[in-house]
């Protein structure tokens, strides 16, 4: 996950792209309504997987759909970052990053 002054970019590995049937995601920072750390990224991915990969207790990659929304998911065991978006293809982004707390602090503009 990288940011510029105007955009947030989530870059997937080639394997993640194939297994999750996803592509890299780029959204304007103005579309990010909220950012939070979730302690268990695997449990936070709710709804039906369509399309993507779900290995119970290990990995989830793909699009999770629920009534009224779609979530971009690429998580492993452990903490993840959940972003709520507005006006984008996905309403929510759920991704595992190395330091979730630092990412959330940077996106919210508060010092860690």
Query: What is the C-alpha to C-alpha distance for residues 72 and 14, in angstroms, rounded to an integer?
Result: 16
pLDDT attached to residue 90? 96
Domain ranges of the chain: 2-108
DSSP of 38-64, one letter per residue? ES-HHHH--SEEEEEEEETTTEEEEEE
Q: What integer pLDDT is reported at residue 75 of this predicted model?
A: 96
Q: In this predicted structure, what is the pLDDT of residue 112?
A: 42
Q: Quick one: CA torsion of 61, 51, 25, 46, rounded to 10 degrees? A: -60
Residue 55 and residue 77 in contact, taking contact as beta carbons nearer than 8 Å: no
pTM over 0.85: yes
Structure tokens at 20: 């999750």
Walk along the chain (112 residues) in steps of 10 and give the mean pLDDT of each run.
Answer: 90 94 95 94 92 93 94 95 95 94 82 46
Whether the Cβ atoms of residue 34 and residue 83 lie closer than 8 Å to each other: yes
């Amino acid at each position: 996950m990288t940011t510029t002054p105007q955009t947030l970019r989530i870059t997937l590995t080639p394997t993640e792209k194939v297994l999750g049937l996803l592509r890299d995601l780029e959204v304007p920072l103005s579309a990010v309504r909220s950012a939070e750390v979730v302690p268990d990224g695997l449990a936070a991915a709710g709804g039906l997987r369509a399309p993507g990969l779900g290995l119970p207790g290990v990995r989830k990659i793909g699009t999770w759909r629920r009534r009224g929304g779609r979530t971009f998911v690429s998580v492993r065991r452990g903490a993840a970052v959940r972003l709520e978006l507005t006006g984008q293809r996905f309403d929510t982004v759920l991704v595992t990053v190395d330091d979730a707390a630092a990412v959330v602090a940077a996106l919210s503009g508060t010092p860690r």
